[in-house]
Amino acid sequence: MAKPKLSTFQRLMKGKLNRSQRKQLGRRLYSNNPGLDILHPHAAGIDVGNQSHFVAVPPGRDPEPVREFGCWTAALIEIADWLHSLAITHVVMQSTGVYWMALYDVLEKRGFQVCLANARDTRNLPGRKTDVQESQWLLKLHTYGLLRNSFRPPEDIRAVRTIWRLRDRHVEDAGREIQHMQKAMTTMNVQLANVISDVSGVTGQAIIRAIVKGERDPYKLAQLKDYRIRASEEEIARSLEGNWQEDVLFELRQALERYDFCHQQITECDRLLQKYLGKLPDRTIAPSQQATPEASTTQQGERKTKKKKSQKKQAGRPPRKNEPKFDLQAELRRVCGIDLCAIDGVKIMTIQTWVAEIGVDMSPWPDEDHLVSWLKLSPRKPISGGKVVKQKPIKVKNRVAEALRMAATTLKDSDSYLGARYRYLRAKLGEGKAVKAMAAQLARLIYRMLTKGKAWVDRGAEEHQKRRAQRELQALERKAAARGLKLVPAAT
């Protein structure tokens, strides 16, 4: 009769390791010296797993340099105690799913300098496939300083990020329920979506809720339209003459209930988001860092006046459908210390995504180029043999980069310096590269405003056209000088 398989908890409590693991413990970490400088001599490597963690320390620190620990809280505390007894100061681990978070918090509170490495940067050599060797490989890489630490925002920003991401999922779920309602009405040949632009608006929701309550008269339903709807009551009534099916009406009612539940969850997230944003400290800008007013022409003065009126109008408008129902712009202005929405194309939801994901402290990035590279908005030009080789783009999901790309697309019809630059890049590079380039430009502007405290002043589309003409003229002069020629202005 086969022996029952022990759980991870039972196996670790008995201190048993299988034969393969005992064989792997005999491997030495420094079998071949690569000749690199040791930057972290007191480091440990941890291979994070779902049920257990493998921890490797330098040989000579302990008779058993690689140990397996469980994932429960007592085992995590045991890992910290063991590493502290061996005078370990640096710990490296991979960002595997969400399994690393609890261990990271325990080690961070105990004073260890934890390096959270991207699994893409820790690819093993051929043959290194086991958990024991993985932890030793991480230890070796971090000992010689070959790993980069991943960015993790402070604890107060992490709380805002958690609620903001949860709220975003609820918004997506509500959008899917709108699609379900449209599908149910189309199945019953109720063509409401053909006469109004948004069935989730005031008119659409009033008609759908009346249908769910039992109203079938199309003319009575058409009387529920809002005054802003351009379609006539007769046109709406004709679109509401459907074949009412009991099973599809049940589907419509359930979709409406889920839609209401999603908005209830969004309201709860907004309440908690306002609480966490209120706990963030105020950020003030020294008077010496304020932007100095520049001499402006009449057109620049008109643009400033128009911009102020637009900002005042935006500040007084009620929140839109998917925006939080409290004064989010005032909270973000207090947290950032400056109004980042003054940048053309950058809206309140873009700034909220920025604050929720990375915060307002830009010290983790030495300059704006490092930030753009971290956002994966910088061009990748791998060079081999002195030539730029083609390489597949890295698939990275960065919420801040996605928000900046979305903001860049809104500059298409903007009568501003950034709008003129976007249209120029789109004509020169194409749609995709232009969006990426403008997203990088927006990231640079936000970085400068958060670090230097200077307000954004729009120079207008005319200024961009003027500078573009100057650059083209300088390029022609360089080409002529290279051929021993000189440009002469045409006689007027």
pLDDT, residue 372, reads 93
Please report the pLDDT score of residue 269 as a whole number.
95
Is it the case that residue 133 has pLDDT exceeding 90? no
Q: Which two tokens stand for residue 464?
A: 């961009």
Categorise residue 35: left if φ over 0, alpha if ψ from -120 to 50, beta otherwise.
left
Q: Which residue has the higher pLDDT, 296 or 411?
A: 411
Tell which wins on pLDDT, 304 or 190.
Answer: 190
Q: Which residue has the higher pLDDT, 321 or 148?
A: 148
Q: Kindly state the average pLDDT of the residues 226-237.
A: 88
Q: What are the φ and ψ backbone dihedral angles of 91, each rounded to 5 degrees?
A: -130, 135
Q: How far apart are CA 252 and CA 394, in angstroms?
A: 41
pLDDT at 479: 86
- Mean pLDDT, rounded, of the chain: 83
Decide if 35 contacts 28 (C-beta within 8 A). no
CB 83 within 8 A of CB 44: yes
Pick left, alpha or beta for residue 319 (phi over 0 → left; psi -120 to 50 → alpha; otherwise beta).
Answer: beta
Instruction: Answer whether residue 449 shows pLDDT above 50.
Output: yes
pLDDT at 298: 46
Contacts of 216 (CB under 8 A, 6+ apart): 244
Cβ–Cβ under 8 Å, residues 169 and 148: no
pLDDT for 34 equals: 52
Q: Which of 33-37, 442-446, 480-484 holds the top average pLDDT?
A: 442-446
Residue linked to tokens 């991979």: 94
**Domain regions of the chain by residue span:** 35-143, 156-279, 337-377+397-474
R_g of the chain computed on alpha carbons: 30
Residue 31 has pLDDT above 70, yes or no: no
Q: Please choose, from the candidates 410, 461, 465, 412, the residue with its C-alpha nearest in 3D space to the C-alpha of residue 300.
A: 461
Whether pLDDT at 311 is above 80? no
The C-alpha atoms of residue 236 and residue 258 are separated, in whole angstroms, by: 26
Q: Specify burial of residue 172 (Cβ count, 10 A radius: 0-12, 13-18, 19+).
A: exposed
pLDDT tops 70 at residue 177: yes
Structure confidence at residue 288 (pLDDT): 41
Each residue of 191-218: pLDDT tens digit? Answer: 888 888 888 889 999 999 999 999 899 8
* Centroid of chain to Cα 19: 44
Name which of 383, 364, 431 is nearest 149 in CA terms.
364
Alpha helices in 86-118 (DSSP H): 100-109
Instruction: Strands of 71-203 (E only): list them.
Output: 90-94, 113-117
Provide mean pLDDT across the span 426-454: 91
pLDDT band (50, 70, 90) for residue 416: confident
pLDDT at 296: 43
User: Which of the four pLDDT bands, split at 50, 70 and 90, describes residue 83?
Assistant: very high
Q: Please give the Cα distance from 74 to 83 (Å, whole number).
A: 14
Q: Over 90: is that where the pLDDT of 159 sits?
A: yes
**What tens digit of pLDDT does each residue of 272-285 get?**
999 999 999 988 76
Q: How far is CA 378 from CA 395, 422, 439, 447, in A?
A: 14, 16, 10, 15
pLDDT of residue 297: 47
| Residue 251 pLDDT greater than 90, yes or no | yes
Looking at residue 176, what is its pLDDT? 94
How far is 9 from 70, CA to CA, in rounded Å?
A: 7
Most confidently modeled of 61-70, 256-265, 380-389, 423-432?
256-265
Write the single-letter amino acid at 422.
Y
Band the pLDDT of 438: cuts 50, 70, 90: very high
Summarize the confidence of residues 393-404 as an average pLDDT. 85
Q: Which fold has domain 35-143?
A: Nucleotidyltransferase; domain 5 (3.30.420)
Long-range contacts of residues 67-71, Cβ cutoff 8 Å, at least 24 apart: 68/12, 68/17, 68/21, 68/131, 69/12, 70/8, 70/9, 70/12, 71/8, 71/99, 71/102
